């Protein structure tokens, strides 16, 4: 995926009931490495990466790009939510021009099961609706990733299609842009 592009960035930190969403900082580096190295987190994302390789490769301030929010609970990073542009070459599109905004989310296992991912994604989608009014957001997840599937539906994404990519069945959904016209297939 590529960067989100034309949005005012970074916004002021976004506060939800329990969380803060903000741009990444150097102090988040260990949590990023933990996420990339975790077999649990990476089950449906291509598997864990070796920690020593990550220690060398991960930049001093990881994940600093427009659309990527570190999610913080009580002052510590517990995960991240990102809005990026979906690669035109990949299957799964709702716009003839491709390059749709795509939501992604990754949380540390100890933060699962509390509704934090849903809370953070809702806030990030609300930010995007303000930054790019009316623009739909797409999401792609492995069908086997049950937690992710439940989250996608809870966030209001509806199925557009399923396809096989990376040797696994993928679910591709969309949520209509708020305040604007939904994409053709859901009108
Ligand atoms: C996908 C992922 C973010 C989902 O995390 P999650 O914590 O299950 O998602 P939610 O924030 O929606 O939380 C829902 C759970 O919190 C529970 N919960 C507890 N307190 C809650 C509250 N106050 N509000 C809402 N839900 C609450 C819900 O009952 C639900 O539990 P259940 O799944 O056991 O039924 C997480 O599994 C993850 O990071 N996976 C690895 C990365 C990944 O695969 N990403 C997908 C890429 S496409």
69-109 confidence digits (pLDDT tens): 999 999 999 999 999 999 999 999 998 888 999 999 999 99
Distance of CA 57 to the CA centre of its chain: 21
In a domain, 142, yes or no: no
Q: Parallel, antiparallel, or unpaired for β 76-85 and 20-22?
A: unpaired
The model's confidence at residue 2, banded by pLDDT at 50, 70 and 90, is low
Residue 152 covered by a domain: no
- Domain with 90, as residue range(s), is 14-134
Q: What's residue 96's pLDDT?
A: 86
pLDDT band at 176 (very low <50, low <70, confident <90, very high): confident
- Tell me if 118 CB under 6 Å of ligand 1: yes
In a domain, 141, yes or no: no
Q: Is the pLDDT of residue 179 over 90?
A: no
- Say if ligand 1 is within 6 A of residue 141 CB: yes
164 in a domain, yes or no?
no
By most ligand atoms within 8 Å of CB, the mutation choice from 112, 145, 157 for ligand 1 is 112
Residue 187 above 60 pLDDT?
no
Tens-place pLDDT, residues 9-68: 999 999 999 999 999 999 999 999 999 999 999 999 999 999 999 999 999 999 999 999
Residue 159 lies in a domain: no
Q: What is the CATH number of the domain that holds 51?
A: 3.40.630.30
d(CA 89, CA 93): 10
At residue 143, does pLDDT exceed 70?
yes
What residue's CA is closest to ligand 1, atom 6? 112
Q: Averaged over 169-182, what is the pLDDT? A: 78
Check residue 166 and give its pLDDT.
92
Q: Tell me how many domains the chain contains.
A: 1
Alpha helices in the chain (DSSP H): 29-37, 51-57, 116-131, 146-154
The answer as to whether 106 is a domain residue is: yes
* Residue at 156 is within a domain: no
Answering whether pTM is above 0.85, one says yes
The answer to whether residue 139 scores a pLDDT higher than 90 is: yes
Residue 184 lies in a domain: no
């Amino acid at each position: 995926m590529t960067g989100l592009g034309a949005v005012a960035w970074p916004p002021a930190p976004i506060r939800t009931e329990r969380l803060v969403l903000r741009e990444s900082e150097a102090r988040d580096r260990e949590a990023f490495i933990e996420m990339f190295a975790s077999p649990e987190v990476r089950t449906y994302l291509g598997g864990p990466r070796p920690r020593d390789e990550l220690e060398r490769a991960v930049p001093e301030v990881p994940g600093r790009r427009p659309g990527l929010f570190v999610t913080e609970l009580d002052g510590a990073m517990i995960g991240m939510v990102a809005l990026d542009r979906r690669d035109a070459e990949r299957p799964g599109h709702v716009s003839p021009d491709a390059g749709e905004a795509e939501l992604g989310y990754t949380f540390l296992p100890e933060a699962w099961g509390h509704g934090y991912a849903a809370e953070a994604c809702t806030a990030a989608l609300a930010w995007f609706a303000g930054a790019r009014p009316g623009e739909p957001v797409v999401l792609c997840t492995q069908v086997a990733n049950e937690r992710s599937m439940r989250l996608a539906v809870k966030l209001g994404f509806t199925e557009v299609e399923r396809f096989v990519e990376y040797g696994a069945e993928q679910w591709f959904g969309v949520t209509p842009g708020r305040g604007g016209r939904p994409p053709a297939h859901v009108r």
